[in-house]
Structure 1
Amino acid sequence: MNPKKERRWINAVLPFLIPVLVLILWQIASMGGGPKAALTPSPFKVLQTFLKMVESGELLRHTLISTNRAVSGFLVGGAIGLILGLVNGLWSLAERLTDSSVQMVRNIPHLALIPLILIWFGIGEESKLVMVSLGVFFPIYLNTFHGIRSIDPGLIEMGRVYGLKGFALYRNVLFPGALASILVGVRYSLGIMWLTLIVAETVSAKSGIGYMSMNAREYMQMEVIILSILIYALLGKLSDSLAKLAERQFLKWHPNYRKSAAKGDGRLVKKSYPAANSTAS
């Protein structure tokens, strides 16, 4: 086999080794006797439950509701965090005015605010939107602020020498320079997004995957509970994959990203440098 094709095949198989091992151990655990076996439904039984709920439309309905809540909260909290991070990163006056207050609130676990949020906003959709938005706000804010402040001053000065100022300087120098850090914040906030939603739906919800799981707990439907956990895991993996796709699209010019991409493709790292140097020149 061609060495390059062999490396690509290995890279394609490696991510599935641990999930397959978990399935094997899971199946072995479900085949054991005793009361614990009854609390560990087999993968086949979970698959049967999945197909049954897909056929009835119940799983799709709960999944769409949860996804809508997560995306809405991410857009609201992410937009506020991005804007405030940019403003505080660019203007020291804004940083002195707001950053101290933001840091005080950040050090309060946002899940500890759930009782207060429920009292203020009730158990409807508003409380879930607020909780998710609050969860994703801080990672995006911090990484955006850090990305702006970490830009090499020499690049900013060079942009000004070439006549860039105002929005043109921001579009061509500041935002691209901070983009790698911003995308790190996006990936981190996506994980917090699902974590917050799980708690929000199990505490106060009449629909969604978290509600489906809590309702199954009342009737000891273990296969539904495990299926709910797996759906959350798959949604988290999907959102992270979309974030990685955004990195590949928006950071093609970044030398460090080109280096890691070359390693991931199984190519020699040195082959990526001429293209990066020619782009810079």
Structure 2
Amino acid sequence: MSDGRNGAIKQIICIKWGTKFGPEYVNRLHAMVARNITPPFRLFCFTDDGTGLHPDVAVRPLPEFAYDAPVRTKGKWPKSRLWGDLGDVTGVVLFLDLDVIVTGNLDPFFEFGDPNDTVLGRNPNTPFEKMGQTSVYRMTVGNLAPLQQIFRADPQGIADQYKYEQRFVTRNAPGGVKFWPKGWLAHFRFHCIPNFPLNYMKEPRIPKGTRIVMFPGNLNPPDAIAGRWDEADPVRSPSQHLKAAFAPDRRESFLKHIRHFVRPTTWVDKLWRE
């Protein structure tokens, strides 16, 4: 079995569907992985449109998985396509979201635990629940296939019960899940942006020991580079943003507004490149 150990090829997978992320996200991910891993490795992109992808990216069609998509529940449920058969991709794979930033060596993600373990990040938004975070997870291909059958039987019911696909995986993965060691992953909003009022004075930092920075939610790498909370926000100076907190037409509460400020982040601009 290809498990990325003892010189075996390290297999990384990602998924791209629709138009939210262009090919540059995949190409930059491939380049960041290449700069931070001991070869051999291969990045497989499962996608409905391989146009513009780097020739070194192994393009594969989105796996077939017929289900009625939940319509009133958040969560990236299309990731469920990767839980079953992946064609010629077998063995151990490391899944990466397209909008992560690689900041350290990735070899330990293939060395940690047993090859058959399903390993997730720890979701910092629910510290007492011990819910997994699926921006970065490792699995043996096929081990999560039983989840597809459960989900297919009642997609909207499962989505209503669990809300997010990562909670469903955490609670139902055969054999349970393990979590990456503390400090390997950083959540950009939770761990990198200084708390108020320092968020107006200092740009975000990379916590010591971080190997991958994740960007769950609406704040993605282009927003971090520009210095905005999400693409719907205008780019403002610290004084302009503070002044806008007192505007009657602000779109969130005063406290959220003053917390939701980020200075332009130079290290994201430096690292997020081909």
TM-score (normalised: structure 2): 0.23
Task: Point out the structure with the larger strand share.
Answer: 2
* Bigger-Rg structure (1/2): 1
Task: Point out the structure with the larger helix share.
Answer: 1
